[in-house]
Structure 1
């Protein structure tokens, strides 16, 4: 029931903010601008909470680019993404607890086990993958029991290039054919390609590990040689 309630709640947030698009870069900018000199801090906090509520990170980073320019927006979008990831992870970890293990099958348990063993690597690969949204996966990392430290560090390392790319696009929203926008788009595509490459490497290594464990188990369970009691 806890897991079901959490999934339904996140699905509603996803429908409102991602599919419905009710919160865009312009709306976020209008909320933060009145903070004046405290606008950077307001962005980090408000953006972090909105990201945990599944507002797309692209909209948040674009708003940062509109408000603070490409470089300043990227520097602020990154800590905001870390706040969002940690808040989402902690909320789902407390709400869902170990409920995921009770309902997951063999394949899902394998993914959960990998995420727990290699939390930092799992977060880095996911953050670099194209199209895959960060918000729902941050909640999933919480359900999987990935440590908050791994979620924070993985987000800090991997979200920087994408934050810069979206900030560049946001800062150059009035001229998407200009140099800044093209650099942002190129950086986004390159980051996605790197994510796909790393994901392929991780999958290959995990398959080798599973195969090695299977061979070791088969060897250990095979017929054992019985010593001859008459031998000297």
Structure 2
């Protein structure tokens, strides 16, 4: 799949593409990441890409024409049409479901805004989806684009050391969309704190049930709305419900 990133700062992505486990996805071409800089499509000696907002106010706004020329060039080079994603505070939250959809398709064009934002006419003409990392504001869309690319890359076959490892991640449908359980490694006692005995027992059935109950417990404490969604989707068993009834924090 191909992701075209439209950004004024492509150099920010270098560590993402060359470091860590997920670099395998980029080096192998499983996730093909390309860059286009709107400044390369700007005119004049100063290659200006921003200007003052109409109506006054602080900050600058990215101009429509350089973005339009950049987007048009990128879209013309793609063999098939692609969604154009803008990272914006008004977008829908980036969730595991969005990552799975992006990770199983043909990719997308990721538009990284800067300054106070981009000219609304570009959004109206080109953008098909807006995504937000959360209820806060970043200096630009690059960090959000990196988060999406990293999440998509780790879903690709052969990227993680253990195939299917991502199936145990928080929010994954394999867990019913719940949070992951705690994890432990050697030594079995550290600073007087011992690993739970069940994890040392070798009894896979008991271990699996302990992990499920811990996942249920943590989700009830930290993100109870996920339990509500899982219940509505029929992802909780009768045994899950029995355990939840023992918790004071169950929604």
Q: Which is helix-richer, 1 or 2?
A: 1
> Which category of TM-score, normalised to the shorter sequence, fits these structures?
under 0.3
Structure with greater proportional strand content: 2
> What TM-score do the two structures reach when normalised by structure 1?
0.26
The structure with higher relative contact order (CA 8 Å, sep 6+) is: 1
| TM-score under structure 2 length normalisation | 0.25
